A and B are shown apart, each in its own frame.
Chain A
Amino acid sequence: MSVPHAILALLSESPKYGQRLQSEFEARTGRVWPLNVGQVYTTLQRLERDGLVESDGDGNGERARKQYRIAPAGRRELDDWLRTPPDLVPPPRDELVIKVLVALQVPGTDVHEILQVHRRHVIEVMQRYTKLKAADAGDVPLALVVDAELFRLEAIVRWLDAADVRLKQTDLPSRRPESAPATTTEAEATPATEVSQ
């Protein structure tokens, strides 16, 4: 999250005091990114030093009494930032992918069971996000933040589902339980945990 650019965006509407910038930042980001007022003033100082914002204070007065406004250079910086794509290249090592690749190598490990453990965990996190969204239908910034997380988590579930199918289609010897003969079907080899309510 770029705090300087979020502050520039808030100042692009109208000049504001530091305290108000902090409360508006949190309200407009669904309150999922907390920001303390000290961070706001540190950021404002840097932005002022770089000529991206201006203040109407006398320079040595109390910081809470200074009102800040966006400078022309700040508006250009904000426009550029909005149009610059974020880094979409994934991290070099995705931990979940690595765990599944490792599971393929460990004798006696049922990869489908490993996939299910992660699937359940991801869905439990999704349930919590959905509850958050369900609780407040009118909070649009919150809904946008939660939607972004839900789509990201859904993509993980879809990858787990695809991995399940791909591994079923290619019956690697290493993922069979240790003592199971090659002809044993998966359902017989891995007794399912029945759920009783």
Chain B
Amino acid sequence: MTAALELRQVSKTYGSGASEVHALRQVDLAVEEGELVAVMGPSGSGKTTLLTIAGSLEQPSTGDVLVDGVDLGDVARSEQAKMRRRSIGYVFQDFNLLPGLTALENAMLPLELDGVAAKAARAGAQRALEELQVADHADRYPDELSGGERQRVAIARAIVGQRKLLLADEPTGALDSVNGDAVMRLLRAATDRGVAGVVVTHDAQLASWADRVVFIRDGRIVDQTLPPPGPESLLAFGDRS
């Protein structure tokens, strides 16, 4: 089975000489289709660098990044940009919606940038908004939406079309915990439908939604959780019926 995302011995160094900073050191990480992985670490540990390299927004100093089996180092820049638009969705803490566009227009944007005809882009965006339960607000502008609704539109924009990989940087950071739960439930649903997801966070509650939590310290992956046993093990009764 081909991993949706694979990082092989990825290192990233900024600056040189005395001011050299090793943001990532020989990171190996593979994320399968349908898997949600949380990367957890303190600020400055390299987790955001890991995400921007995984999303080809930045190039590694050494090592390889494969998205859906394709080594990004082997393809031309223009081809990388196309993969970025078609295969990868991004969700950021501050939503990054364009204020002059409606919810629907924001969600259509990646498809339009990719040359999809307006009618098909509109239909795709409408489906994504329905999936995220914000289709009722399709004609509203971001400043007419609550924080939770804005993040839903941002996730709709990230999963629109045939995305293989969803990358999220502290996606619930600006939300209260109940709205944060709702957003994680939606990210979880997207990965359950087959998208591979990577969430970077310092928040243990957010990380606990993932199938696997990897721990990053000083640019290295130092540990990861074992596959969890079923939740039944927490209950005093085996049978909850």
Contacts and interface: CB of A to CB of B under 8 A. Distances in A.
Interface of A: 31-34, 112, 116, 119-120, 122-135, 137, 147, 150-151, 153-154, 157-158, 161, 164-165, 186-187, 192-197
Contacts, number: 104
Contact of B228 (A128, A137, A161, A187): A128
Interface SS of chain B: mixed
A154 B204 contact: yes
A74 B40 CA distance: 49
Contacts of A125: 234
A128 B207 contact: no
B214 interface: yes
Interface residues of B, number: 42
Contacts of A116: 215, 217, 222-223
A193 B236 contact: no
A134 B204 contact: no
Nearest to A155: B204
Interface in B202-235: 202-205, 207-210, 213-215, 217-218, 220-226, 228-231, 233-235
Interface SS of chain A: helix
Contact of A120 (B223, B235, B237): B223
Nearest to B208: A126
Interface stretch (B24-32, B84-92, B96-104, B112-120): B24-32
Give the one of A120, A129, A158 with max B CB within 10 A: A120
B218 A187 contact: yes
A131 B230 CA distance: 8
Contact of A123 (B3, B213, B236): B213
29 contacts: A31-B237, A31-B240, A32-B234, A33-B236, A116-B217, A120-B224, A120-B225, A123-B208, A124-B226, A125-B234, A126-B208, A127-B225, A129-B231, A130-B209, A131-B230, A137-B185, A147-B177, A150-B205, A158-B204, A161-B42, A187-B218, A187-B220, A192-B222, A193-B223, A194-B28, A194-B221, A195-B214, A197-B6, A197-B29
